[in-house]
């Protein structure tokens, strides 16, 4: 099969855009990634110009193409092994491959029915999750997001925004906004939210697919783990985190100073700092959280660094549908810090790496399972940041569950093959935000 046909297969699987889904869903995202593969052909001049402007853009493009090509080649091999006489299976056939039913035909398709314990969330933590979901949605700046509201918090002042680098994709769009609890007696302090936008462009998905080609980068950016070892991280997300760090420090500092002046509160009245994001935005948010909790707020202005060091009562991170980022779990920096990854049951992105995606493609393209057996998944290459919390609707009740470490009911052994579950709209509904 030619490379163009293999790309067509890859795009056909994920290219259908559900009418009810917003941009930023898996169907949008992975079809965009597949479109990036056309850089091999007529779009090569665009890739070349990006490379000349920014070396990291070139590296992301090359790594993305390698992973896409690897996935499509494995699909080709799979068809040959199965004796498929129609190796040029059309995109239309793939779209009608009954992928939802095929996933559900396996015993490990979902967390539903697994023996899992509920995650203990107090009222304030549930409030923070809703505020994070609100912020992770609004940073996309899509029509309709302005109607979202959460009455427990009110915004203070105007948001500070960092625009995305549309040419290389190395900087994702960021919004920094301070909120106060909408109560007469606010003893908890304000919350400064840093929301990083997820994937909306071809360059974004080049970065997402640049996982180091089997050799994650070892770097000091996120500090060290409990054993004193530097983390090995996803190359593309790490590059994004580094690219925005210095600018973000300035925006956080300005928000702290401006909102304290506007609200009349003392500068030493400490706020909570909360990082959040959906999908790839969540991955970058988690890396920035690790950097600022373990490395502080480095700046050429020592006064600024000292102010920020003492500005926050705690630094926290709440992500939605974020992909895995490190070869060892990235844990909360302290017992007082919150670091959680909210994952909808079925969302494939929190499991996605260069080994998982081709395996999922095989499931979609393969025959229907008739025996209700378990679908074998490859070992995880990367792990999610913080405590993973699975959201599951059971008997019309929303449950926040702790996945098992291994085996039945674990993230490693659950197929997670429903791309519709990745939509931020679904996450918003799951956490109870009003529209």
Task: Give the domain ranges of the chain.
Answer: 117-350+421-430
The pLDDT > 70 percentage for the chain reads 69
Confidence of residue 202 (pLDDT cuts 50, 70, 90): low
pLDDT > 50? residue 14: no
Decide: 271 and 256 in contact? Cβ < 8 Å. Answer: yes
Q: Residues of the chain with pLDDT > 90: what percent? A: 46
Report whether 152 contacts 186 (CB < 8 A): no
| The pLDDT value given to residue 122 | 92
Task: Compute the distance between CA of residue 250 and CA of residue 29 in angstroms, rounded to an integer.
Answer: 30
Report pLDDT for 246: 92
**Which of 26-40, 186-200, 238-252 is most confident?**
238-252
Distance from C-alpha of 330 to C-alpha of 328, rounded to nearest angstrom: 6
pLDDT at 2: 43
Closest CA to 129 of 317, 352, 350: 317
8 A C-beta contact, residue 374 and residue 103:
no
Whether residue 196 has pLDDT greater than 90? yes
The half-sphere exposure of 91 on its side-chain side, counting CA atoms within 13 A, is 13
**Which H helix or E strand runs over 29?**
helix 26-36
At 7 the pLDDT is 44
Q: Which two tokens stand for residue 413?
A: 């052994």
- Does the structure show a pLDDT above 90 at 74? no
Of the listed ranges 253-267, 380-394, 405-419, the one predicted with least confidence: 253-267
Neighbours of 132 (CB within 10 A): 30
Cα–Cα–Cα angle for 67, 72, 74, nearest 5°? 95
Q: How confident is the model at residue 354 (pLDDT cuts 50, 70, 90)?
A: confident
Closest CA to 281 of 100, 435, 422, 430: 422
Q: How does residue 84 score in pLDDT terms, banded at 50, 70 and 90?
A: very low
Looking at the structure, give the CATH architecture of the domain made up of residues 117-350+421-430: 3-Layer(aba) Sandwich (3.40)
Model confidence, pTM: 0.79
């Amino acid at each position: 099969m030619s490379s163009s046909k293999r790309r067509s297969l890859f795009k056909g699987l994920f290219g259908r855009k559900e009418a009810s889904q917003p941009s930023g869903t898996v169907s949008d995202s992975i079809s965009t990634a597949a479109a990036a593969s056309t850089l091999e052909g007529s779009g090569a001049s665009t890739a070349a110009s990006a490379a000349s402007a920014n070396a990291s853009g070139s590296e992301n493009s090359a790594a993305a193409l390698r992973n896409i090509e690897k996935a499509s080649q494995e699909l080709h091999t799979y068809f040959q092994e199965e004796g498929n006489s129609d190796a040029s299976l059309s995109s239309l056939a793939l779209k009608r491959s009954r992928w939802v039913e095929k996933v559900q035909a396996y015993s490990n398709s979902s967390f539903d029915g697994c023996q899992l314990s509920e995650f203990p969330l107090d009222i304030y933590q549930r409030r923070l999750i809703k505020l994070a979901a609100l912020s992770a949605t609004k940073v996309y700046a899509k029509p309709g997001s302005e109607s979202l509201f959460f009455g427990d918090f009110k915004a203070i002042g105007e948001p500070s925004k960092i625009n995305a680098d549309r040419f290389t994709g190395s900087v994702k769009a960021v919004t920094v906004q301070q909120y106060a609890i909408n109560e007469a007696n606010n003893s908890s302090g304000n919350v400064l939210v840093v929301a990083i936008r997820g994937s909306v462009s071809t360059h974004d998905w080049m970065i997402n697919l640049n996982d180091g080609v089997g050799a994650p980068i070892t770097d000091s950016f996120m500090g060290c783990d409990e054993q004193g070892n530097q983390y090995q991280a996803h190359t593309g997300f790490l590059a994004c985190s580094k690219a925005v760090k210095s600018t973000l420090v300035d925006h956080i500092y300005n928000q702290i100073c401006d909102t304290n002046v506007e609200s009349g509160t003392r500068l030493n009245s400490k706020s909570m700092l909360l990082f959040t994001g959906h999908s790839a935005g969540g991955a970058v948010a988690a890396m920035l959280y690790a950097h600022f909790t373990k490395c502080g707020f480095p700046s050429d202005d020592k006064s600024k660094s000292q102010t920020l060091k003492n500005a926050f009562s705690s630094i926290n991170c709440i992500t939605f549908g974020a992909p895995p980022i490190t070869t060892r779990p990235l844990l909360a920096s302290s017992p007082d810090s919150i670091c959680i990854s909210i994952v909808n049951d079925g969302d494939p992105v929190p499991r996605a790496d260069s080994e998982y995606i081709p395996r999922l493609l095989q499931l979609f393209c393969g025959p229907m399972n008739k025996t209700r057996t378990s679908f074998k998944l490859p070992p995880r290459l990367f792990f999610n940041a913080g405590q993973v919390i699975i959201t599951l609707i059971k008997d019309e009740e929303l449950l926040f569950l702790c996945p098992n470490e291994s085996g039945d009911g674990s993230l490693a052994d659950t197929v997670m093959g429903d791309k519709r579950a990745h939509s931020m709209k679904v996450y918003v509904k799951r956490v109870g935000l009003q529209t």
